[in-house]
Chain A
């Protein structure tokens, strides 16, 4: 049954605003609306319940609330706009199929976040990135490995790191490094959680993260003032 889309939305909030706080236009009740009695959570729970009951208009509202975070997560993990769009679509299709199984043991945003990560991991596995043995399989080619820091004195990165340069350096990381760096340093996952998600050892996660940071350091030192390419 057709249902109206959240194609047009109100202007984005300040960049620091949590994406889950943003509302969709064309919705009867903005999702970030806090009623006088402070019942924003109840409104969201009601929308979720309607979506779980098969109300696709309510599902469209959930999409509007969570799309930015899920798309941003996919984009950071794969570094490609086209792939991120495909993965976001797949994540929300799976969300739609599985929404009735959500029982509220965790926040919906957390549940959806993990679902999206699994979609990305499945995609990477299909592309041939084996995540079983990170050290052996995800290890980049020798010319991609981060430089050691022996001998000649190194200069500390001076001042603030340019955001674009860092973003570009993250995008350019080998897939395995980027995956763990994004999960740990940007998404805030702990090593034990990453190890579970990726089916690897905690030691592997720590090692790969360290190598990713070294690789970023190399990139930022080599091209500290390079203009963005996007």
Chain B
């Protein structure tokens, strides 16, 4: 980490943020964050969003009619080319 990291502008810090976050390193103690409420709040928000997204895993149910369409399409394909030769 640079000696002058605490003197980074918000723009410069935020430009580095994608790489810092993706690195997996703890950036909570980054010198810039010690003196910048704005970027600290930004980081907290991004972490909150990422965590919420990980928990956001709704399993949606496709309509029953979808299987009928797939089945029909398979039958059409097999009518044209015959049952697929497998194994």
Q: Which residues of A contact B (CB under 8 A)?
A: 1-3, 5-8, 12, 15, 19, 52-54, 56, 59-60, 63, 67-69, 71-72, 75, 84-85, 88-89, 92-93, 96-97, 99-100, 148-157, 160-161, 163, 166-167, 170, 181, 185-186, 191, 203, 206-207, 209-210, 213-214, 216-217, 220-221
Query: Which of B18, B38, B39, B54 is A210 in contact with, Cβ under 8 Å?
Result: B18
Instruction: Determine the main DSSP class of B at the interface with A.
Output: helix
Q: Is the CB of A54 within 8 A of B86?
A: yes
Residues 34 to 87 of chain B near chain A (Cβ within 8 Å): 37-39, 41-42, 44-46, 48-50, 52-54, 56-64, 66-71, 73-75, 77-78, 83-87
Report A-chain residues with C-beta under 8 Å of the C-beta of B41: 149, 153-156
Report B-chain residues with C-beta under 8 Å of the C-beta of A150: 10-11, 14, 38
CA distance A63 to B67 in the complex (A): 8
Q: Is the CB of B58 within 8 A of A72?
A: yes
B21 within 8 A of A: yes
Query: Which of B44, B53, B61, B66 is A186 in contact with, Cβ under 8 Å?
Result: B53
- How many interface residues does B have (CB within 8 Å)? 47
Q: Is the CB of A54 within 8 A of B74?
A: no
Closest Cβ of chain A to B57, distance in Å, is: 7
Q: Is the CB of B49 within 8 A of A54?
A: no
Closest Cβ of chain B to A115, distance in Å, is: 14
Closest Cβ of chain A to B80, distance in Å, is: 12
Q: Is the CB of B50 within 8 A of A185?
A: yes
Across the interface, name the chain A residue whose C-beta is closest to B86.
Answer: A100
Q: Is the CB of B22 within 8 A of A217?
A: no
Q: Is the CB of A68 within 8 A of B87?
A: no
Closest Cβ of chain A to B54, distance in Å, is: 6
Q: Is the CB of A100 within 8 A of B84?
A: yes
Q: Is the CB of B74 within 8 A of A206?
A: no
CA distance A216 to B42 in the complex (A): 12
B19 within 8 A of A: yes
Q: Which residues of B contact A (CB under 8 A)?
A: 10-11, 14, 17-19, 21-22, 37-39, 41-42, 44-46, 48-50, 52-54, 56-64, 66-71, 73-75, 77-78, 83-87
Report A-chain residues with C-beta under 8 Å of the C-beta of B77: 93, 96-97
Query: Which of B14, B19, B42, B52 is A206 in contact with, Cβ under 8 Å?
Result: B19
Query: Which of B44, B50, B61, B71 is A5 in contact with, Cβ under 8 Å?
Result: B71
Q: Is the CB of A206 within 8 A of B84?
A: no
Report A-chain residues with C-beta under 8 Å of the C-beta of B39: 149
Query: Which of A71, A206, A221 is B18 in contact with, Cβ under 8 Å?
Result: A206
Across the interface, name the chain A residue whose C-beta is closest to B40.
Answer: A156
Report B-chain residues with C-beta under 8 Å of the C-beta of A170: 53, 56
